[in-house]
Structure formats: C-alpha cells, structure tokens
Amino acid sequence: MSDALSRDNVARCAWVGSDPLMRTYHDTEWGQRVHDETRLFEKLCLEGFQAGLSWRTVLTKRASFRTAYDGFDPELIAAYSAQDVALRAADKALIRQHAKHAAVVQNAQAYLGLRNTGGSLNALVFATYDPHRPRPKHEADIAVSTPASTALAKTLKQRGFVFVGPVTMYALMQACGAVNDHVERCATSVSQQ
C-alpha cells in the first residue's frame, strides 16, 4: 500500500492501513507540533507503553489512560504510591505491565526535577527541530532511531527518566512533530506553528 491511495482516495503514510482509528490519528494528530508540557509528558508515557506493542493498542486505551493518570498531570502522578501503581497495573482497561506503570510515576518525578531546574521537555524534544528538513520519499527512508533521538534518550536517562530508549524517543519525536516523517506522497498537511 506504500504507493496506493486509501479507500477514500487520499494518499497517506503506509502504516495507517485501512483502520479508521489509525487514519484519524494520522490525519489529525501524528506529526502535528505539540509544545504543551503536559501533552508532551503524556506522549512520552504512552510511547513507553507502546514499546513492544502496536500503537493501535495504546490508542484504543488512551482515554482510559488519561482517566487513570489524572490527565497525565505530573504533579499528581509523582505522588502516586506503590498501591496506586499496582491498581493501574491490574486494570483491564489499561496495558497490564507493572514496570511500565511504575515508569510513569518515576518519569513524573523526573519531569518535576527537570522543571525545577529550569528545564522543559519541549526544549529537549525540539532541540534539533529543523523546519527545512526534507520529508522522506518512501517509508523505507524513515529511520527507527537517529543521533538526535539517541541524544534525547541519553539526556532523559541522565535526568532519571526510564522507558526512553532511542527508538521510543524517535517515535515521540515523530508523534509530536519534532520531525516530519509524513512521506512525500502523503497528503496530510503538517502544521508549521
């Protein structure tokens, strides 16, 4: 499907397939620039949950994650107890992997530490943003990680974040528009805000 039109005759990135949920996510969200710290924190956490799974799995549970994690408010999450983590790890509406739930709490604490030293996720994630970077010609031209995502992962790990490897951080960069990996033939317009 890499060079074909979707059922609605719109050219999209091949990973979308024919799934309406993925199509909506691709067309309205993926690659759109996000600078809001809480939304960036949410995306970082959800990308961590996605590791080893399909993005569709996370996307179908996103509303439940938002409810379970108080809208991904880092200040609230940082105060969660071990019991709070265990309850979320047992929740059938969420992905039930204890280590990933514990990582959300640890990442909230690390985020507060970053913020308290004057740092921001926005500054780190968009450190190498280049609005003139050419879009990839084909899906095969898209990397799974880059030197920028490796550097981001290293910086975040040094600041106490977990589940933030180079591949996961590249997925975050793609999702929040720090890189534009919509292939050239894709008709989706990416905001240049």
Quote the CA–CA distance of 116 and 186 in Å, as a whole number. 40
Of the candidates 29, 37, 42, 55, the residue annotated as catalytic is 55
Of the candidates 29, 30, 42, 47, the residue annotated as catalytic is 47
User: Is 111 among the residues known to form the active site?
Assistant: no
Which residue is listed with tokens 């280590």?
99
Quote the CA–CA distance of 169 and 144 in Å, as a whole number. 10
Of the candidates 25, 29, 37, 139, the residue annotated as catalytic is 25
Question: Which string of b and e fits 97-108 if b means at least 16 CB within 10 Å?
Answer: eeebbbbbbbbb
Query: Which residue type is seen at 62?
Result: R
Rg of the chain's alpha carbons, rounded to an integer? 17
User: Is 30 among the residues known to form the active site?
Assistant: no
Sign, CA dihedral 110-101-67-30, equals: positive
User: Is 55 among the residues known to form the active site?
Assistant: yes
Residues across the chain: 193
Which sequence positions are flagged as catalytic? 25, 47, 55
